[in-house]
Structure 1
Amino acid sequence: MFYMQLQEIPRVKTISREDFVSRYVKPQKPVVIEELTRDWGAYDKWHLDYINRIAGDRMVPLYDDRPVTHEDGFNEPHARMRMHDYIRLLESEPTNYRIFLYNLMKEVPSLQEDFQWPDIGLRLVKQLPMLFFGGENSKVFMHFDIDYSNILHFHFHGRKQCVILPPDQTKYMYKIPHALISREDIDFDHPDYEKWPALKKARGYIANLEHGQMLYMPEGYWHYMKYVTPGFSMSLRSFPRNPANLVKAAYNVLIMRHYDNFMRKRKGQAWIDYKNEQAVVRTHRELGMEI
């Protein structure tokens, strides 16, 4: 259960291109569209047994919820296994292993025949349909995306809880310097407000997605995802419309992540420890909460 100040994300069953752009994209507000996928082949087919049948032999990268160390490369997987072994694991017991940002569409092109590129007023990047898988109660740490994209996040097979916060809440999030994440030792299900008092001021949104539903996440939104049941999701992306966010995205991709990798190699775990400390120091200092 969450104790931050969260409101339910608005929901519509369907929406026109014009209304989606005027009511949500331009003001940068989230929305859940419940029936956007009803006429897709994916709506009937995209369950774990189907993925197992057509992609079971593929080797897939796996991630868990261990804290970042200086030995980890940027988005470097923690393990690998065949998809059919991973799906068997998902269906047999809770697991922290997740598939993250995996271009299964490239590996299994027939999947592209199961969905349609929505004519919804965003210029979607056709090269980047990414899939994400997770087991019961597995969690995706609180973060925002490196490229500040507008994201259409579709969920399949089961239920998923999504907590998102707009960029103006960054000052409360204990953001790690030179990174895209909050402190990894924060339990966002049950925040310790004595240890993390700034979180009491954070305001965001929450939604529970079911099979076939889509969440629109605007540019630079923080998000924390929890798989209530085993399942998987697909994200379609549109580069930021805001010029300032384009600049931030370029900085993240071209400078920030390379600098961070350099410092990890140079200073080792001391660099990670320093950043974790600074996340607290800088957050409390900016809010006048020196403790």
Structure 2
Amino acid sequence: MVISSSKNEKPVAKPITQIDKRSNISQKELIAEYIEPAIPVVLTDATRDWDAMGKFTPSFFKKQYGHLTKELKGVTYTLSDYIDLMLASTPKNPAPYPFNVNVEQYLPELLDDLKPEILYAKSDRVNHPLLPKFLLNGTQVYELFFGGNGGSFPFLHVDALYLHTQITQLYGSKEFFLFPPEQAAYMYPKADNDKISQVDVFNPDYVKYPLFKEVEPIRVTVEEGETILFPTKWWHTTQIHEPCISLGRVHLNASNWDDFSGDIFKLWPKLYPNHRTMAVPALVYTKVLGQVMTLQEKFTV
């Protein structure tokens, strides 16, 4: 949230202690009140017209896509077998998490059930026709997550390529734990990946990570049919208290474009070791493309 004491003073950021839940909010209001100030929000009714709601159930995926497989902790599960584990999961004996599926790669026919899209800006930069898909290597634009009671995401993190995050609860609920960007110094990022924390947020070792005692997560439960949106650099993880199916969706806008472009350049030698010399052209291309998109958005109502 942003407040100001007078017209002549710059706005002062007010610490966020809870996540708003909003209904019937227009795209213009969403951008002005949450996207531009970089504030997380839960939208309670943004997916009311999605065909996925009420359709994407455990029985649906078990029947239609039970053959899909995923290796978790060295064991390969079919989605059918995993859903049985998910439904029987308890905190004492949780199903391994997450069983995640790339929708565009394995379930493209379901994309129409996830519309209308929730836009994180005046345009959908992730799906812009001039943004090559290979520049999103290392992430998935649309991703389904299956999990059961007692499951939790394996680490506290910031999402890949500094992308903004959208999570919609298609079935069941999920609890989110978020820490704002200004608390990054307390997260003890890994030396080889500064987007992943070394701290086990559910069982922190305060002897090893004493600064983590200085922070408390902002917790919010996203119910079935609700969508949480939060900007990049917010540290987060999740915990599950009932069988759930979620849709993850990434976003780009002007505020995270430079971070996205810079991270591509940084990771290029790792992602494309045989094409190292293309890192600079890729950086230049994304910088110019960002300017083109910004210009286009100026003429978007």
Alpha-carbon contact 2:20-2:41 (below 8 Å) kept? yes
What are the equivalent positions in structure 2 for 1:90-239 lying under 5 Å apart?
Answer: 90-94=86-90, 95-99=94-98, 101-122=100-121, 123=124, 125-126=126-127, 128-140=141-153, 141-179=155-193, 180-183=195-198, 186-202=199-215, 204-239=217-252
Alpha-carbon contact 2:120-2:253 (below 8 Å) kept? no
Counterparts in 2 of 1:113 and 1:11: CA distance versus 1, 3 Å: same
What are the equivalent positions in structure 2 for 1:41-80 lying under 5 Å apart?
Answer: 41-59=51-69, 61-64=70-73, 78-80=74-76
Give the letter aligned to residue 63 of structure 1: L
> Which structure is richer in relative contact order (CA contacts within 8 A, separation 6 or more)?
1
Alpha-carbon contact 1:146-1:253 (below 8 Å) kept? no
Distance in 1 (CA, whole Å) between partners of 2:36 and 2:16 is 22
Alpha-carbon contact 1:16-1:120 (below 8 Å) kept? no
Alpha-carbon contact 1:62-1:97 (below 8 Å) kept? no
Larger radius of gyration: 2
Deviation at 1:148, TM superposition (A): 0.8
Identical-pair percentage: 24
Distance in 1 (CA, whole Å) between partners of 2:31 and 2:272 is 35
Give the letter aligned to residue 85 of structure 1: D
- Aligned pair count reads 239
Distance in 1 (CA, whole Å) between partners of 2:104 and 2:179 is 29
Distance in 2 (CA, whole Å) between partners of 1:81 and 1:100 is 9
Q: Gapped runs of 5+ residues in structure 2?
A: 1-14, 128-132, 134-140, 274-301
Distance in 2 (CA, whole Å) between partners of 1:201 and 1:6 is 16
Distance in 2 (CA, whole Å) between partners of 1:252 and 1:214 is 31
Alpha-carbon contact 2:120-2:252 (below 8 Å) kept? no
Counterparts in 2 of 1:176 and 1:35: CA distance versus 1, 3 Å: same
| TM-score of the pair, normalised by structure 2 | 0.71
How big is the alpha-carbon RMSD for the aligned residues of Structure 1 and Structure 2? Answer: 2.6
3-state SS, counterpart of residue 137 of structure 1: coil
Is 1:81 equivalent to 2:77 in the alignment?
yes
Deviation at 1:33, TM superposition (A): 0.4
Distance in 1 (CA, whole Å) between partners of 2:237 and 2:103 is 22
Distance in 1 (CA, whole Å) between partners of 2:212 and 2:270 is 25
3-state SS, counterpart of residue 156 of structure 1: strand
| TM-score of the pair, normalised by structure 1 | 0.73
Counterparts in 2 of 1:175 and 1:96: CA distance versus 1, 3 Å: farther
Counterparts in 2 of 1:157 and 1:119: CA distance versus 1, 3 Å: closer
Deviation at 1:121, TM superposition (A): 4.4
Q: Gapped runs of 5+ residues in structure 1?
A: 65-77, 260-291
Distance in 2 (CA, whole Å) between partners of 1:137 and 1:257 is 34
